[in-house]
Homo-oligomer: A and B are copies of this chain.
């Protein structure tokens, strides 16, 4: 499978993975949420090779996740800042962080705590149903093919186990 093909798949998860589903992109995005904006900032914070960093930034810009904005002329310099599309990845980041907080902490405990300004309390992120507000459990969610579905397309929960005979990934 070529990775570019992921974006064509009739599966929103696959498409998202095609954009941000590699380790460096996710780490770069973490830095973005941490207010890092410049090439050197990303490079020194992550230890990524400059070559890869340049490539990943280009891709994220191309995908509309980051915007490249000049912050000085003379030697033209740019900053990379999150677009709304990028900011919308916040729930993804929080979900990843929370899972790590729950399952990957060492004896010392969480590396950091989150405070919700609105209520002033330390909190955990919880994923709920937009309609009734109840926390979501995989078992309580049923999926239906949407308008963009294709016959053998992938869904999140439920759906046949793709019983063997499929010659390749469903298209």
Contact = CB atoms under 8 A, between A and B. Distances in A.
B111 A150 contact: yes
Contacts of A168: 44, 47
Given A13-B100, A110-B147, A122-B131, 4 more contacts: A12-B100, A13-B27, A91-B95, A126-B127
Nearest to A107: B148
Given A13-B96, A45-B169, A92-B92, A123 B119 contact: no
A12 B111 contact: yes
A97 B17 CA distance: 9
Given A92-B95, A97-B12, A141-B117, A112 B44 contact: no
A111 B144 contact: no
Protomer copies: 2
Given A96-B13, A111-B145, A103 B125 contact: no
Contacts of A27: 13-14, 17
A96 B26 CA distance: 12
B103 A88 contact: yes
Contacts of A103: 64, 85, 88
Contacts of A76: none
Nearest to A38: B161
A154 B14 contact: no
A106 B148 contact: yes
A156 interface: yes
Contacts of A10: 111
Nearest to A119: B132
Interface string A128-139: 111111101110
